[in-house]
Amino acid sequence: MPESLISWLNVKPSGDMVTLLVLGLLLAAGVLGASLCRRMLHVPFITGCLLSGLAIGPSGLNLLTQSGLDEFRFIVDIALGLVLFELGRRIDVRWLLRERWLLFTGLMVSALTFAALFLSLSLAGIPTLPASMVASIGITSSPAVALLLVRELKAEGQLTERMLHLTALGNALAILLFAVCLSAHYMQHQPAWYTAIIHSTYRVVGGCLLGWLAARLLTLPTVLKIESSMQQGTLIIAAVALVVGLGSSLGLSSLIALLVMGATTRSTHAMWFIREDELAPINAMLCTILFVYTGAQISLRYLPEFIGLALAFIALRSVVMTTTTGLLAWFNGISWKKGMWLGISLFPMSGVATLLALHVSAPYPDFGAELSALMISVLALLELTGPLVLRLALTASGEAKS
């Protein structure tokens, strides 16, 4: 609750009042702060939102406290859900199956990044399980940053398309790796090893099924001849909310479900009935909240101590990604230069990663305080610089609209 803001008012606001206050702050800070940052610093809109969030959040002026922010988890979950659904809609499964080099590149980027990070962490003396979990967070790229910047800059071309596909693949693989890590963890502690396998399969396969079912829901406008774009948009929000809600209550992977839902609507007839611009106003609002919220969550507390290690982590991750895509550029039908930019475009790390890290550190305290601090520092740096680096990649490759 933003006590600091309202203590001098000498009123005792009810819970709903506080929620409204926080919502107002998130939106106003987002729009006004982002516009100000954009004008003064020439940064992308989302960086502006992040900076505003950072300024008013617990790490800054503390106008927004952690408990106040927690009230908004559900909106943030829907915002993120919509982003993942939209990313899913950009994924062309038929292309991935036909253009094997893209699939191979995605697998190689993830595998090599994972291997490099895991080996380095292991050599630094981190135990296997936390090291593998951190390494699997390291292979994710931010779907929200990727999608929103592509939209903001009106980027089009092979780098853009391949980057979005690699981003979706990386996030899906991270979920799989995570499930495997957790299974391994269970195995250490439980005699019945098969429960671990069943658990992770349930999470992933169940997620796919949930996504597929939600996509069926979105074909209803065709059947019922609902032609109003507002109603179609509302149905999409409903489907996203249902998937996120059901996913977490049933213990299924919502990320996989949303990606599958998006990709399935693309490959079925439903795609004709959902146009990107129809969701634009609600998308803009939800994303403002999402990024101000994310900015407020950025913690700079450990940065002074961990900056060296965090930079080393980021450098290793970027070098491996860029080298891999650069070396495979020719097979992807693009110039080696564009291939290098493709690797660089994967730089922003996933907000999903934050959530994963938070989820993990709570129930599995053996993640370690130091490693958590390192990850929090890495995330802080990547959140703040990611959009700028991606913008550079999209502009330098000529795919952003000038």
Query: What is the DSSP track for 125-180?
Result: T--HHHHHHHHHHHT---HHHHHHHHHHHT--SHHHHHHHHHHHHHHHHHHHHHHH
Cβ distance to another protein smaller for residue 127 or 333: 333
Q: Minimum distance between the CB of residue 95 and another protein, rounded to whole angstroms?
A: 4
Q: Minimum distance between the CB of residue 158 and another protein, rounded to whole angstroms?
A: 4
The H helix count followed by the E strand count for the chain is: 20, 0
In this structure, are residues 316 and 116 in contact, taking their beta carbons and an 8 Å threshold? yes
Longest alpha-carbon distance in the chain? 67
Cβ distance to another protein smaller for residue 157 or 368: 157
Q: Minimum distance between the CB of residue 157 and another protein, rounded to whole angstroms?
A: 6
Cβ distance to another protein smaller for residue 103 or 355: 103
In this structure, are residues 377 and 307 in contact, taking their beta carbons and an 8 Å threshold? yes
Cβ distance to another protein smaller for residue 43 or 155: 155
Cβ distance to another protein smaller for residue 8 or 272: 272
Structure tokens at 212: 């597929």
Q: Minimum distance between the CB of residue 213 and another protein, rounded to whole angstroms?
A: 23
Structure tokens at 378: 């890495």
Q: How many CB atoms lie within 10 A of CB 365?
A: 10
In this structure, are residues 363 and 283 in contact, taking their beta carbons and an 8 Å threshold? no
Q: Minimum distance between the CB of residue 256 and another protein, rounded to whole angstroms?
A: 21
Nearest-angstrom CA–CA distance, 182 and 190? 12
128: CB partners within 8 A, 6+ apart? 122
Which uninterrupted H or E stretch holds 295? helix 280-297
Burial of 267 (0-12, 13-18, 19+ CB in 10 A): middle
Cβ distance to another protein smaller for residue 262 or 387: 262
Q: Minimum distance between the CB of residue 150 and another protein, rounded to whole angstroms?
A: 12
Cβ distance to another protein smaller for residue 70 or 156: 156
Q: Minimum distance between the CB of residue 23 and another protein, rounded to whole angstroms?
A: 33
257: CB partners within 8 A, 6+ apart? 207, 208, 210, 211, 214, 243, 247
In this structure, are residues 313 and 327 in contact, taking their beta carbons and an 8 Å threshold? no
Cβ distance to another protein smaller for residue 189 or 225: 225
Q: Minimum distance between the CB of residue 85 and another protein, rounded to whole angstroms?
A: 14
Nearest-angstrom CA–CA distance, 66 and 293? 10
Give the residues lining the site for another protein (CB under 8 A).
89-90, 92, 95, 98-99, 154, 156-158, 161, 266, 271-273, 275-276, 333-335, 398-399, 401
Cβ distance to another protein smaller for residue 273 or 302: 273
Nearest-angstrom CA–CA distance, 164 and 86? 11
Q: Minimum distance between the CB of residue 235 and another protein, rounded to whole angstroms?
A: 18
Nearest-angstrom CA–CA distance, 372 and 120? 16
